[in-house]
Amino acid sequence: MAKLFGNLHLVMAIGLVAALALMLGFGAYTPVDSNSVARWLHLFFGVLWIGLLYYLNFVQVPTMPSIPDEQKGAISKHIAPKVLFFFRWAALLTVVTGLWIAMVNGYMIEALTFSGEGAVDLIGAGMWMALVMAFNVWFIIWPAQKKVLGIVEASAEEKAAAAPRALIASRTNVLLSIPMMWAMVSANLG
């Protein structure tokens, strides 16, 4: 048992088999199609992304100041780069799967231009908030963290300037995540 659960890939493969069993078992009621598969993957990547955003903001960043200097490297050299790897790719895949849902349901342009009505514009607002968040991840947080964590060369001044930039963008994303999730779960367009 310990051996099985010690193997993350195997655990995930079993989870996938369990999901396939639900798809087969309930296929008559909930079709397994491009729409439902996109929603399922969207939620997987969205949870991964926002989960890591909340880990960074609720756990890592507030705890850093109380970690003794000689132990800080465990976070900045080992944990944080791994977090940021999953964080940024999950953000991208959340965007791709989100746009995929909007496309297969035929409201992507209407939603993004707020020219639908009611719930279409609500999901449009959610999509724009999440797109701004993904932009922050790729074009502000990641470049700034690469300097802060020493993944790329940076002078002391550049590092000092990058840290607050990353923090503001990351906190903006925490703020936006709250109304964004309301739009995601309440639009109910299909």
R_g (Cα) of the chain, nearest Å: 19
Nearest distance, CB of residue 28 and ligand HEM, angstroms: 19
Nearest distance, CB of residue 173 and ligand HEM, angstroms: 9
Nearer to ligand HEM, 1 or 185 (CB): 185
Residue 117 three-state SS: coil
Residue with tokens 């020219």: 115
The answer to whether residues 71 and 19 touch, using CB atoms and an 8 Å cutoff, is no
Q: Which residues bind ligand HEM (CB under 6 A)?
A: 39, 42-43, 46-47, 49-50, 94-95, 98-99, 101-102, 105, 123, 127, 130-131, 134, 181, 184-185, 187-190
Nearer to ligand HEM, 101 or 148 (CB): 101
Nearest distance, CB of residue 116 and ligand HEM, angstroms: 11
